[in-house]
């Protein structure tokens, strides 16, 4: 039987053994800590997303030197839609020569719209600059036969847009005989009822044709004959018109029976109003014009000027010109949108009609001065 003393000795030995056992199993290193769970990476800060700055609207003024009637918004709707904050200002022409005189005197424009007879002078005088046709989305519709008229020194200086005729427009219900020739203008039966285009150039051309001459190759003797012929006609003239509306009113009232040098638009307009009209093809042939847009050398808005030209060439614009004015168009892609009755009425879809028309040619300064002086004399001779 253990005594209390023996029991304490036994317990003491047991405790010492336990301590030794723990010491033998120890590595002498602190117990390893559980590896901490990797901290979640904070999402990368996104670059600030700024709303793209809206482009400032294009503003300013675009100045056009054009013919009355072509300022209608139907002709430049694409431009207006794209540049609603650009103000388009129009200054109007009564004849192509005004483009030269105005630009030379310092008039600032971004687009001009003279006809083929003036362009050589504008180019030679360095008053216009070449056009970059790669900026025109509608350029592919312009046939080379028309485009070449705007080319000088290998560059495109103007874009053809409208072409048409000048002929004799007759109130058939008021005359006994419809003229068949330019020479018939001098027939006494029409005296006092003739309205003539107020243009010395046009007068020289139709008078030369009536005499069988090439208008642009006349000799001094032939020029004198033309002068005398026009002086002979002057007493029979009712009025000299300078705009379509003026001529239309004289024909509609019956004061004028013959509209000499009349344009397609007058014919279409008066027919629509119910008047009995005939737009003759003189035996010498109709005269004709081909006009278009160019950019003056001093333009401050060259890019906008290209945009405006493109808008005028658009299919809708060109179709409107043919349907409302009866004029020939430069973008053949628009022919399918032209009223077939209008195209048939004036043979606008007949390529051969261009070959049978005497289109105006460029003038020398000497010719321009002579013809202008003769015309002034004729008008003041009555």
Q: Which residue has the tokens 């025109």?
A: 136
> What's 60-158+294-313's CATH class?
alpha beta
Indicate the CATH number for domain 164-288+366-379: 3.40.190.10
Task: Write down the pLDDT at residue 346.
Answer: 81
Helix (H) or strand (E) holding 292: strand 287-293
Q: Structure tokens of 82?
A: 């794209």
Task: Write down the pLDDT at residue 309.
Answer: 98
| Closest by Cα among 282, 254, 279 to 267 | 279
Supply the pTM of this predicted model.
0.74
Q: Which residues of the chain have pLDDT under 70?
A: 1-55
Instruction: Tell me, letter by letter, the H, E, C secondary structure of 102-129.
Output: HHHCCCCCCEECCEHHHHHHHHHCCCEE
- 164-288+366-379 shares the fold of 60-158+294-313: yes
Task: Write down the pLDDT at residue 362.
Answer: 86
C-alpha distances out from residue 329 to 166, 187, 226, Å: 16, 35, 33
Task: Write down the pLDDT at residue 55.
Answer: 65
Instruction: Tell me, letter by letter, the H, E, C secondary structure of 211-226.
Output: CCCCCCCCCHHHHHHH
Q: Where are the domains of the chain?
A: 60-158+294-313, 164-288+366-379
Task: Write down the pLDDT at residue 54.
Answer: 57
């Amino acid at each position: 039987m253990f005594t209390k003393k023996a029991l304490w000795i036994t317990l003491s030995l047991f405790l010492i053994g336990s301590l030794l056992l723990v010491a033998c199993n120890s590595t002498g290193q602190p117990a390893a800590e559980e590896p901490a769970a990797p901290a979640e990476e904070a999402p990368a800060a996104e670059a600030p997303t700024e709303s793209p700055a809206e482009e400032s609207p294009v503003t300013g003024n675009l100045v056009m030197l054009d013919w009355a009637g072509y300022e209608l918004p139907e002709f430049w709707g694409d431009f207006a839609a794209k540049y609603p904050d650009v103000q388009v200002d129009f200054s109007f022409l009564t004849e192509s020569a005004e483009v030269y005189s105005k630009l030379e005197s310092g008039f600032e424009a971004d687009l001009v719209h003279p006809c083929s007879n003036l362009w050589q002078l504008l180019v030679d005088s360095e008053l216009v600059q070449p056009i970059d046709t790669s900026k025109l989305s509608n350029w592919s519709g312009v046939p080379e036969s028309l485009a070449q008229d705007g080319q000088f020194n290998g560059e495109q200086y103007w874009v053809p847009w409208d072409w048409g005729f000048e002929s004799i427009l007759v109130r058939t219900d008021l005359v006994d005989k419809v003229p068949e020739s330019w020479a018939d203008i001098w027939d006494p039966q029409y005296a006092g009822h003739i309205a003539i285009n107020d243009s010395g150039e046009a007068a020289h051309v139709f008078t030369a044709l009536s005499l069988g001459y090439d208008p642009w190759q006349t000799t001094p003797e032939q020029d004198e004959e033309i002068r005398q012929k026009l002086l002979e006609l002057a007493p029979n003239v009712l009025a000299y018109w300078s705009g379509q509306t003026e001529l239309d009113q004289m024909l509609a009232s019956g004061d004028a029976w013959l509209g000499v040098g009349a344009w397609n638009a007058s014919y279409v307009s008066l027919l629509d109003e119910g008047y009995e009209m005939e737009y003759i093809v003189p035996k010498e042939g109709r005269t004709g014009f081909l006009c278009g847009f160019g950019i003056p050398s001093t333009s401050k808005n060259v890019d906008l000027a290209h945009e405006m030209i493109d808008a005028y060439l658009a299919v809708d614009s060109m179709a409107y010109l043919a349907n409302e004015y009866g004029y020939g168009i430069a973008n053949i892609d628009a022919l399918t949108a032209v009223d077939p009755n209008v195209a048939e009425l004036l043979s606008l879809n007949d390529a051969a009609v261009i070959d049978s028309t005497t289109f105006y040619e460029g003038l020398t300064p000497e010719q321009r001065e002579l013809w202008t002086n003769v015309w002034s004399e004729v008008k003041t001779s009555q």
